[in-house]
Amino acid sequence: EPEVTQTPSHQVTQMGQEVILRCVPISNHLYFYWYRQILGQKVEFLVSFYNNEISEKSEIFDDQFSVERPDGSNFTLKIRSTKLEDSAMYFCASSQDYGYTFGSGTRLTVV
């Protein structure tokens, strides 16, 4: 069964550093997303991406965040200057007509 692949599975970074989280969506999907889940809390939408541009973003997705599809297969989330409160599990997802699939997540720990 097709999968959404995320790397790394766990990243530890110092406050103020830049991080890039990587995702490989399912190949025939056209819609891409990032969500985050702070430990023990609900899953929150960050951003959606379609046709090489952001289609929607939440209030969480401020100027510190950016997304990119640098080639035909990868989809990345960049956090420019990490804060302690950015510590969370970040999930990538892709979809195409009800086939909404999540990756297994990257656990980001900011110290």
The reply to whether 109 sits near other proteins by the rule CB under 8 A is: no
8 Å CB contact between 88 and 38: yes
Q: Are strands 10-13 and 106-110 parallel, antiparallel or unpaired?
A: parallel
Site string (10-49) toward other proteins, x via CB under 8 A:
--------------------xx-x-x-----xxxxx--x-
Residue entry with tokens 């110092």? 14
End-to-end C-alpha distance for the chain, whole angstroms: 36
Size of the site for other proteins (CB under 8 A): 27
CB of 62 to other proteins, least distance (A): 17
Q: CB-hemisphere CA count at 13 Å for 75?
A: 28
Residues at the contact surface with other proteins, assessed by CB under 8 A? 30-31, 33, 35, 41-45, 48, 50, 55-56, 58, 91, 93, 95-105
